[in-house]
Amino acid sequence: MLARAVPRLPGTRALPGGTVYEPKYDGYRLLVFRTAGRVFLQSRNGRDLTGGFPELARAAEALGEDVVLDGEAVIETAGRLDFGALQQRTGRRPDTVARLARRQPAHLIAFDLLHRAGTDLLTRGYGDRRAALESLFRDHDLRAPWSLTPNTPDPGLARAWAEEWAASGVEGVVAKGAGQPYLPGRRGWQKYRHTDTAEAVVGAVTGSPARPETVLLGRYTPEGELRPVARSTPLAPPLRRELAGLLTPAGPGHPWRDLRISSHWGSRTPLEITPVAPDLVAEFRGDTAVDRGRWRHPVRLHRLRTDLSPGEVPAHQA
């Protein structure tokens, strides 16, 4: 079951049976199947990730009963959830994965129980499934690598999670209806992402300088190298017009002249960009999914900061 993005935190009556809120984690969505003595870990798009998370597979096997769990696989680095560390687990040799698992073990933050001991729970409401999930944790006294996500009917507490836990890798809040059944593939839940504003240098555009469609933003390292940090969603018409009057085509020494960047995170399809002179500073609004100084999701350009020079933009922090 999926969630659709919403611009504000849903109210307490927004979803069937009353709204319940859970933190949204910066990790890998994972379905854990422990059925007929076999363990299978499945990604959101159906990929087999069992080999990438042997510690989670062993923990599922140790349950000793048939279950299907829904949750988020996470790895922590220096007090923050590390999406890059998760990516290192896929497509690697078993000995490499085993070494990574010993160095940085993954955890499974469980938030739904779909099947247990021959009982299909899909048609039951979220409230009933949550009670069954809590019972599973109690019955097995589950500890690391298992973790039970907190939930609350209090929107004030949910908003505090989104704002105060952002630094640790919580992207926002998922809102679920207490009476909702589990609908595979349907966007019946709602997700609200906490966003912050930041500044960066406009280093390239899609489209053309005369008709920009999106922008590629960068920040300078302490050594003076301009690194890409974010790409924008399609620009609003007023911003397109404003940018078109200010952008200057890049000269031959532009640092991104030969840059190759993917069209979206995890894709190998190249994004066609046109470098521009890195003279303009823009303020943008992005969520908290930032990996080594780079925003993983597209950001929304808020305004141009003609009052700032590129040298006043915060330095790139890998």
Q: Active-site residues: which are they?
A: 24
Q: How far is CA 123 from each of CA 112, 127, 177, 191, rounded to the nearest angstrom?
A: 13, 12, 13, 22
Structure tokens at 15: 């979803």
In 3D, which of 124, 90, 167, 224 has the Cα closest to residue 135? 124
3-state secondary structure string across 180-232 = CCCCCCCEEEEEEECCEEEEEEEEEEEECCCCEEEEEEEEECCCCCEEEEEEE
Question: By C-alpha distance, which of 286, 281, 309, 284 is closest to 296?
Answer: 286
Question: Half-sphere exposure (CA, 13 Å, Cβ side) for 14?
Answer: 20
Is the CB of residue 12 less than 8 Å from the CB of residue 155? yes
Give the whole-angstrom CA distance, residue 124 versus residue 308. 55
Distance CA 258, CA 273 (A): 10
Beta strands in the chain (DSSP E): 2-5, 19-25, 28-35, 38-43, 67-74, 76-77, 80-81, 107-116, 119-120, 146-148, 170-177, 187-193, 196-207, 212-220, 226-231, 274-275, 281-286, 290-291, 294-295, 300-304
